[in-house]
Amino acid sequence: MANLSVNIAGVEFKNPVITASGTYGFGREYNEFFPIERLGGISCKGTTIEVRQGNPPPRIAETPSGIINSVGLQNPGIERFIKEDLPWLLNRDIIVIANIAGRTYEDYCTAVEMLNDTGVNMIELNISCPNVKEGGVTFGTSSGGVEKITSLVRRVCKKPLIVKLSPNVTDISEIAAAAECAGADCISLINTITGMRIDINTRRPVLRNNTGGLSGPAVFPVAVRMVWQVANRVKIPIIGMGGISKWQDTVEMMLAGASAVQIGTANFTDLYTPLKVIEGLDKYLEKNSIADVNDIVGKVDAW
Amino acid sequence: MGKIQDEFKIVNKLQPTETCFDYSIYCPELAEITQAGQFVHIYCGEKTLRRPISVCQTNKQKGIIRIVFEIRGEGTLWLSKRKKGEFLNILGPLGNGFPTDKNKKALLIGGGIGVPPLLECSKCYSSESSSILGFRSQENAILIEDFIKNCAEVYIATEDGTLGTKGFVTDVLNDLLAHETFDVICACGPTPMLKAVSHAALCNSIECFVSMEERMACGIGACLVCACKTKKDGKEGYSHVCKNGPVFNAQEVVW
Ligand SMILES: Cc1cc2nc3c(=O)[nH]c(=O)nc-3n(C[C@H](O)[C@H](O)[C@H](O)COP(=O)(O)O)c2cc1C
Ligand code: FES
């Protein structure tokens, strides 16, 4: 068996497979099928200071090789997350990443301060939710915005800090550099790509929110490209995601420069995807006589 | 006991109408625990999302569940092309079913492809229970014989009048409630129908449960895409059809 463990910003993951924020709740539902401790980590549903109802339905539509969603950060609020969901997760042998979003700088800083005193292993700043006006995306689409929010949060944050980037930008490497410069310990990307579908009979957008975020295999090539560009620019580790649905995608994402991956939409197609990915990755390494998964990170031999 | 995701074999395939299919699937684990009104989430070929389909009937002795579905889009089209002997990847049983009670006299009201989820229900209430089934036309009518076996009375309504009463299930419902009472109403069908049934139940002070439909992703309550507006203790909020439903108390739904 090859070494599958990875170390990101001082946090040891038993394997590089993490489930993506918003697709996995707080882990309980999936734990009915297999012990989620077999995963490297879980990125929790994005939480905000206040309770959020989310957007009106329909919130999802299938698209070629993917989906668009407009959940709109429905969540129980960070206080209830800490009280009711976190203890259960902290009792398992799995790296727990809290994912937070907010409307203002203060929102983010307050959320981080609340999480500082908990057992979460890492904090992921979602500054890239395309589905709520105030979902942080205003901070996430300019280098100046990213730099400011990251440095403000950095000042109060006692946990390793991941900044999750939006792909809805002109130059992803600029944005990543701004996050690194402002003190991020890790970059995760990509969040969903803003999309839209229209029902040709009713002439109404399929989603009640009009637009939504595209995810699933359709976005994979975009995600690989962005991870590769960011890897060429920053020194901090990268968690790659966007459309990963099989172990081959994971290898590809790691070759592009990701130290670990997150899997979201693919859980909806087959909830055993993360386990199949871990198994396939291990076999791939063994077959190619690679002793350590870290040895493939960034090893694309670009033209 | 619990939910599973696995491959199960289609042991019988029927096509009651041009667009409607009736599969029997051998899966003892599911048949053993599936309740009336619960659903399964089925992988449909190259599609990213599974398709939720209500269980129409379970047979514990034979280890079989039966699903009856209509071609609505690409997913169900793929599903309709499977052959007897092929395997389907099924996740289930999911959601909460109807709160069945052998001592209660129920009225089951189904519209179109909302008819199948009520069949299992028809065995789980008192033998005095009746049903009202609505279809667009005679050629869309399904499962009538099955309901006749289980119900005291089966009333049919078709929009074009080719079978039973001409009109909607609600027309039959209002006439029926004028001279007969029921302990509970269970309904499944298009939202406007459910809303009308819910209103009639409220006016007649009859407890009412409706099976709601919403697009789904995970099917197990993790992703929050399947929102349905509900109110509890006067407070409105979103419930999730896959986990809190698909069956809701009609008076909790914000129509
Ligand atoms: C239904 C749904 C809800 C999501 N909610 C969040 C969220 O709350 N916070 C966040 O940072 N990303 C959220 N995302 C984005 C995912 O974490 C991920 O970045 C994106 O879906 C791309 O990965 P995938 O193609 O593997 O799903 C959500 C995605 C989906 C499909
Ligand atoms: S489909 Fe995911 S919560 Fe209902």
**Boundaries of every domain in chain A:** 6-55+73-196+216-296
Residues 32-51 of A with CB under 8 A from B: 32-33, 45
A23, A33, A66 ranked by CB distance to B223: nearest: A23
Is it true that the peptide bond before A160 is cis, omega within 30 degrees of 0?
no
pLDDT (tens digit per residue) in A57-66? 999 999 999 9
CB distance A259 to A294 below 8 Å: yes
Residue B116 falls within a domain, yes or no?
yes
Contact between B173 and B52 under an 8 Å Cβ cutoff? The reply is no
- Final residue in a domain of this structure, among B182, B199, B214: B214
Of chain B, the end-to-end C-alpha distance in Å amounts to: 35
Q: What is the pLDDT of residues B98-116, one digit of tens each?
A: 999 999 999 999 999 999 9
pLDDT tier, A130 (very low <50, low <70, confident <90, very high otherwise): low
CATH of the domain at B52: 2.40.30.10
Q: At what angle do helices A143-156 and A172-181 cross, to 10 degrees?
A: 30
Chain B contact for A54, CB < 8 A?
yes
**End position of a domain, from candidates B67, B94, B121:** B94
A56 CB-contact burial (10 Å; exposed 0-12 / middle 13-18 / buried 19+):
middle
Smallest Cβ distance to A57: which of B91, B214, B222?
B214
The shortest CB-CB distance from B48 to any of A32, A33, A268 is to A268
Q: Which of B66, B217, B195, B31 is nearest to B142 (CA)?
A: B66
Query: How many angstroms separate the first and last alpha carbons of chain A?
Result: 32
Q: Residues B8, B55: one domain? A: yes
- The answer to the question of residue B247 being in a domain is no
- Within this chain, do residues B209 and B160 fall inside the same structural domain, yes or no? yes
Does a structural domain hold residue B233? no
A29 with B221: Cβ contact below 8 A: yes
Distances B167 to A28, A302, B131 between C-alpha atoms, Å: 46, 68, 16
Tell the residue nearest (CA) to atom 31 of ligand 1.
A265
Confidence (pLDDT) at A140:
86
Q: Is the pLDDT score of A221 beyond 70?
A: yes
Contacts of B221 in chain A (CB under 8 A): 25, 29
Chain A residues within an 8 Å CB radius of B224: 22, 25, 45, 54, 59, 71, 74
Residue from A60, A80, A132, A263 to probe the interface with B (highest B Cβ count within 10 Å): A60
Residues B110 and B197 in one domain: yes
pTM for the full model?
A: 0.96
* Domain membership flag for residue B61: yes
pLDDT tens profile A26-79: 999 999 999 999 999 999 999 999 999 999 999 999 999 999 999 999 999 999
Per-residue confidence (pLDDT) for residue A44, from 0 to 100: 97
Regarding whether B63 and B119 lie in a shared domain, the answer is no
Q: How far is the centre of ligand 2, averaged over its atoms, from the C-alpha of B242 (Å)?
A: 5
Residues B17 and B84 in one domain: yes
* Dist CA A270 CA B12 (whole Å): 25
Question: Any CB–CB contact under 8 A between A275 and chain B?
Answer: no
Q: What is the pLDDT of residue A103?
A: 87
- Give the pLDDT confidence score for residue A80 in this predicted structure: 96
Pair A4, A289: CB distance under 8 Å: no
Asked if B207 and B187 sit in the same domain, the reply is yes
In chain A, what residues touch B48 (CB-CB under 8 Å)?
A: 62, 65-67, 216-217, 265, 268-269
pLDDT at residue A137 tops 80: no
pLDDT band at residue A1, thresholds of 50, 70 and 90? confident
Cβ atoms of A72 and A209 within 8 Å: the answer is yes
CATH number of this structure's domain A6-55+73-196+216-296: 3.20.20.70
For residue range B189-220, list pLDDT tens digits in order.
Answer: 999 999 999 999 999 999 999 999 999 999 99
**B27 touches ligand 2 (CB under 6 Å):** no
Contact at CB, A54 and B238, closer than 8 angstroms: yes
Q: Is residue B178 part of a domain?
A: yes
Residues lining ligand 1, CB < 6 A? A 20-23, 45-46, 69, 71, 73, 99, 126, 129, 164, 191-192, 215-216, 219, 241-244, 263-266; B 223, 225
Asked if pLDDT for residue B1 goes beyond 80, the answer is no
| Mean pLDDT confidence for A73-89 | 96
CB A282 within 8 A of CB A1: yes
**Closest residue in chain A to residue B43, using alpha carbons only:** A269
**Substitution site in A21, A68, A219 for ligand 1 pocket (most atoms within 8 Å of beta carbon):** A21
Catalytically active residues of A are 129
pLDDT over 90, % of chain A: 93
What secondary structure, in 3-state letters, does chain A show? CCECCEEECCEEECCCEEECCCCCCCCCCHHHCCCHHHCCEEECCCECCCCECCCCCCCEEEECCEEEECCCCCECCHHHHHHHHHHHHHCCCCEEEEEECCCCHHHHHHHHHHHHCCCCCEEEEECCECCCCCCEHHHHCCHHHHHHHHHHHHHHCCCCEEEECCCCCCCHHHHHHHHHHCCCCEEEECCCEEEECECCCCCCECCCCCEEEEECHHHHHHHHHHHHHHHCCCCCCEEEECCCCCHHHHHHHHHHCCCEEEECCHHHHCCCHHHHHHHHHHHHHHHCCCCEHHHHCCCCCCC
- Where among B27, B61, B94 does a domain terminate? B94
Has residue B245 been placed in a domain?
Answer: no
Is there a single domain that holds both residue B81 and residue B138? Answer: no
The size of the A-B interface in CB pairs under 8 A is: 100
**Mean pLDDT, rounded, of chain B:** 95
pLDDT digits (tens, 9 = 90+) for B23-72: 999 999 999 999 999 999 999 998 999 999 999 999 999 999 999 999 99
Closest ligand 2 atom, CA of B218? 2
Counting the structural domains of chain B, the total is 2
Whether residue B118 is found in the same domain as residue B184: yes
For chain B, the residues whose C-beta falls within 8 A of a C-beta of chain A are 2-5, 43, 46-50, 75, 89, 91, 214-229, 237-238, 243
| Residue B246, in any domain of the structure | no
The distance of A267 to chain B (nearest Cα, Å) reads 7
Mean pLDDT over each residue of chain A, to the nearest integer: 95
Nearest-by-Cβ selection for B238 from A29, A74, A272 = A74
Mean pLDDT for B226-248 is 94
Average confidence (pLDDT) over A186-201: 96
CA distances from B178 to A184, B125, B171, B175, B186 (A): 69, 22, 11, 5, 18
Please name which ligand lies nearest the alpha carbon of B220.
Answer: 2
How many angstroms does the Cα of residue A24 sit away from the middle of ligand 2?
A: 10
Q: Does residue B77 belong to any structural domain of this protein?
A: yes
User: What's the token pair of residue B125?
Assistant: 């209430």
Q: What is the ipTM of this complex?
A: 0.94
CATH classification at residue B159: 3.40.50.80
Owning domain of residue B167: 106-214
Contact B223 A271 (CB under 8 A): no
Burial degree of A203 (CB within 10 A; 0-12, 13-18, 19+): exposed
- Tell me, yes or no, whether B73 and B134 share the same domain: no
Q: Which residues of A touch B253 (CB under 8 A)?
A: none
Dig out the tokens for A25 from the structure: 């709740």
Q: Where does the pLDDT of residue A228 fall: very low under 50, low under 70, confident under 90, or very high at 90 and above?
A: very high
pLDDT tops 70 at residue B8: yes
Q: How many angstroms separate the CA of residue B6 from the nearest CA in chain A?
A: 10
Contact A223, A194 (CB under 8 A): no
pLDDT of amino acid B232: 87
Q: How far apart are CA A161 and CA A141, in angstroms?
A: 19
